[in-house]
Amino acid sequence: MTTMTDSSVREFKMPDVGEGLTEAEILKWYVQPGDTVTDGQVVCEVETAKAAVELPIPYDGVVRELHFPEGTTVDVGTSIIAVAVGDGAAAAAEPVQEAVADTPATAEAEEPKPEGRQPVLVGYGVSTSSTKRRPRKGAQAPADAQGASAAIQAELNGHGPAAPAAPAAPAAGDRPLAKPPVRKLAKDLGVDLATVAPTGPDGIITREDVHAAVSAQPAAPESQGAPAAVAPAPSPTAAPASYDTTRETRIPVKGVRKATAAAMVGSAFTAPHVTEFVTVDVTRTMKLVEELKQDKEYAGLRVNPLLLIAKALLVAIKRNPDINASWDEAAQEIVVKHYVNLGIAAATPRGLIVPNIKDAHARTLPQLAGSLGELVSTAREGKTSPAAMQGGTVTITNVGVFGVDTGTPILNPGESAILAVGAIKLQPWIHKGKVKPRQVTTLALSFDHRLVDGELGSKVLADVAAVLEQPKRLISWA
């Protein structure tokens, strides 16, 4: 094979495709070694904690090597593909001998570790962040680790040594540093944390340290003549020995699902939630929906009850603007927003996402219908961008599409309120003094009680119900 100089090979690094993201999973490669690529050509699809994104290459050349196989989670700033450019492209066009790297460690050993996160692609700039990256399992040791501190930092970056020099165990009388799950593991395995040498940052004992301590313990003899063999320590990521694959399935939590889980836990235990409910006759709203479907102005647009529910919420916010706010913990201030970025919770194959319609308050009803249709279609195709999910102020979640009457929705992090819409059903209802079948639904409004007191939350929910009961209020209140 023709030898190429380093200057003729460009390394394309995993960009930060969303503000503050630290890693992404490679879902699919669209090119293979030996393929010719051009500036702007999409070479792979990756999934971040927010969405699936296609990555374009920023230069012309010939693919020399793919450093990671599909399904690998890669840190931002790590090279994922090598491309021969300029004079080297012609040489690389010959039959390529290198195959896709078997493990992430192979590529990592061949390239120098980046000094820091740098902008690597137009439109995908990164911001300085002090967030520590999650160490990748299975990374190999660097050839020349220098000292315990270098080994620890390398491990944090996903390049930790296989057997780092163990720091000294905690001094007698000092309480060992370990997280609750690690303490429970040590207790279950009968390990005294005071005897474990920590390898985590700032002297924290990790699960691997506990397992290493178990492996290092001498075996207790079964008899005076022959010592018993010590069973190998279980892998921290391995399934339990009793795990039956015919009766259970384990699904790794990553990408959108992992981010959603973390966000919901953070929201539930940060913002004090209050939920209020109201059941309302929406028969007139359903009639208006049918009339709008026949209107030429709405031709080609998605006209459904969600459209008028969204408009009703926007009218209620206009009448009660203080509900459209956020909590600034650092400044201890309430930030009232003079715009509404209306979030719509959408279930997708990759999990629940909440894209939002920017400046929804300023849109006419036909414009709102167009934006809702585009938002839903993009979400179903899995093409929602990270930017579309940032900056939301209030959200609507339509649980009625699943036949559910109502629920107690959890706030989207950073937002003040979320409206859950239940199924619209024919029910007996007292109308003009008589019991008649009417279209009825139940609304549930959850709000952050630090920002919204009971009076304000009740007014907003009552206004939404009033508009849906008498849609003509869209004109008189707008």
End-to-end CA distance of the chain: 72
Residue partners of 144: CB distance under 8 A and separation at least 6: none
Q: Which of 67, 338, 361, 449 is catalytic?
A: 449
Measured distance CA(174)–CA(53) in Å, rounded = 48
Measured distance CA(49)–CA(23) in Å, rounded = 8
Measured distance CA(407)–CA(397) in Å, rounded = 10
**CA 262 from centroid of its chain's CA atoms:** 8
Radius of gyration of the chain measured on its C-alpha atoms: 28
211 is catalytic: no
Task: DSSP for 185-227, please give it.
Answer: HHHHHT--GGGPPP-SGGGEEPHHHHHHHHHHSPPPBSSSSSB
- Smallest CA-to-CA distance from 53 within 388, 414, 412 is with 388
Task: DSSP for 388-450, please give it.
Answer: GGSS--EEEEEGGGGT-----PPPPTT-SEEEEE---EEEEEEETTEEEEEEEEEEEEEEETT
Residue partners of 98: CB distance under 8 A and separation at least 6: 33, 64, 65
Measured distance CA(103)–CA(240) in Å, rounded = 25
Looking at the annotation, which residues are catalytic?
A: 449
